Amino acid sequence: MKRIKLLFTAVLSIAGLTATVAQDFSDPRFAKWGETPEERRENYLNSSFLKEEINNHNFNAAAAYLQKLLAKCPKASENIYANGVRLYKQKINRAQTLQEKKMYVDSLLLIYDIRLENYASHPKRGKDYILERKAREYLTYKESDREGVRKAFEDAIAAQVEVLGAADPEVLAIYFKNLCDDYSNDLVDAMEIVNAYETNAKYFENIAPDKLEFKEQFESCFGMSGAASCENIEKIFSKKIADNPSDEKNYAQAFALMKRAKCTSDFFFMVGEKYYALSPSSNTAMLLAESFQNVKNYEKANQYLREALSKATDLVERENLLVRVGTLEMAENDHKGAVEAFNAVLKNEAEDGDGLAYYFLAQCYVAGAGNCTGFAKDATFWAAYDLLQKAIPMLETQQPDLVENAKTLAASYRRAFPSAEECFFNELKEGSNYTLNCGFAAGTTTKVRCRQ
């Protein structure tokens, strides 16, 4: 069988040689193969022989053809490099000693370097393609050279960004995992991890669904690395800020990292407030408000919510901020301030309405009823119930987790309506209009409903 296979290969080689001899190598399309027709024919044939010798496992003969082609016509064909890679991978796999294997690995990587010199500007398989392939080979065959692995992937990523405008998510995920591994082995410091994350995270925005697994790997590596712990970030940036206390970029980076890490230290709040002072924005104010609220510093949270509100121009954004202001006022038992905030929402509410504003305002009405007495106190529950009836259908789409609570509150408010006897003694008929005159609901017109 082997003899038949060799005979078949020989027949094909003769056929290919005959076809090559018939070519007119003086044609300009063969110019890349050499200066003269004779040189072009020789190099063209050597390219065919290179492939055949690899297929026949005559690797030393193939290496001789490869060297000739790289020396005489390195720009002639990409196939020279594809076959060169095939050749040296075979030689690596068959190496008898570690020294021999290292030599072949170096030759393999050199193939990529020479290809880069001659095909960097190729429209489809140029600099970005070549350096990516080299980085993957480096990781496969020289994994123990950690600095070399990092450098190979950094070069590949930089080339992708230069050529394509973005890095490939899979390549980034491989690089970042290796970088985090190096951090766990004390080969790089935390700042290198932080900078790599900050630099490359943007390339995972709006990626294709089939690439999302690489984003998850990237984020997981960052989270599990421990590099972005609050302690590490403070250690890194306290010196940076002390050395240059007016550098806005340091504050911006430190604040973003510490917010993501859910830090609550004095340093975090100092950084956030200083960053806001240097570059005030609605978004930063909102982030500060959330952070202060998380540590129950409602006064500061309210301050920054109002800062955000003063800068917000979008109607929906303003409504969301007003609702948050209102809930903070409720947390501080300032129901009057909360009512003002919720009423501001309802006065200029967006097209779909704001269920939260109705939901919380109802509770403020009930809280305010504590300052009323007798029938006026009970009548307040009519207005509070009306607000919940408006809130519930909105909450079903806006805040479904609050729907059941809103229904429970509405039922309890209904049970607190004035009795039929009380309505009779106040000369009020079921369904007639009634204007409240006490508490936060004062001036609100509602309908008379008697508790059965």
Asked if 189 and 226 count as a contact pair (C-beta separation under 8 A), the reply is no
**In the predicted model, what is the mean pLDDT of the chain?**
91
Angle formed by the axes of helices 374-398 and 403-415, nearest 10°: 160
For the segment 372-391, the average pLDDT, to the nearest whole number, is: 93
Asked if 260 and 219 count as a contact pair (C-beta separation under 8 A), the reply is no
pLDDT at residue number 261: 87
Residue 435 has φ and ψ, to the nearest 5°, of: -105, 125
Rounded Cα–Cα distance for residues 22 and 76 (Å): 19
Residue ranges covered by each domain of the chain: 1-119, 126-225, 229-279
Rounded Cα–Cα distance for residues 192 and 228 (Å): 11
pTM: 0.63
pLDDT at residue number 14: 45
Measure CA 153 to chain center: 20
SS3 202: helix
Bridge-partner residues for 447, per DSSP?
A: 433
Asked if 37 and 53 count as a contact pair (C-beta separation under 8 A), the reply is no
Using one digit for the tens of pLDDT, what is the confidence trace for 203-222? 998 899 999 999 999 988 98
pLDDT band (50, 70, 90) for residue 20: low
Asked if 34 and 72 count as a contact pair (C-beta separation under 8 A), the reply is yes
Rounded Cα–Cα distance for residues 210 and 169 (Å): 10
pLDDT at 18 over 80: no
Q: Which amino acid is at 333?
A: N
Q: Which residues fall within 8 angstroms of residue 240, CB to CB, at 6 or more apart?
A: 247, 250, 254
SS3 49: helix
Rounded Cα–Cα distance for residues 16 and 27 (Å): 19
pLDDT at residue number 319: 85
Rounded Cα–Cα distance for residues 365 and 343 (Å): 12
pLDDT band (50, 70, 90) for residue 3: very low
Rounded Cα–Cα distance for residues 111 and 130 (Å): 10
For the segment 223-251, the average pLDDT, to the nearest whole number, is: 89
SS3 199: helix
Residue in the block written with tokens 């490939």: 168
Rounded Cα–Cα distance for residues 323 and 424 (Å): 39
For the segment 368-376, the average pLDDT, to the nearest whole number, is: 90
Least confident of 56-60, 143-147, 259-263: 259-263
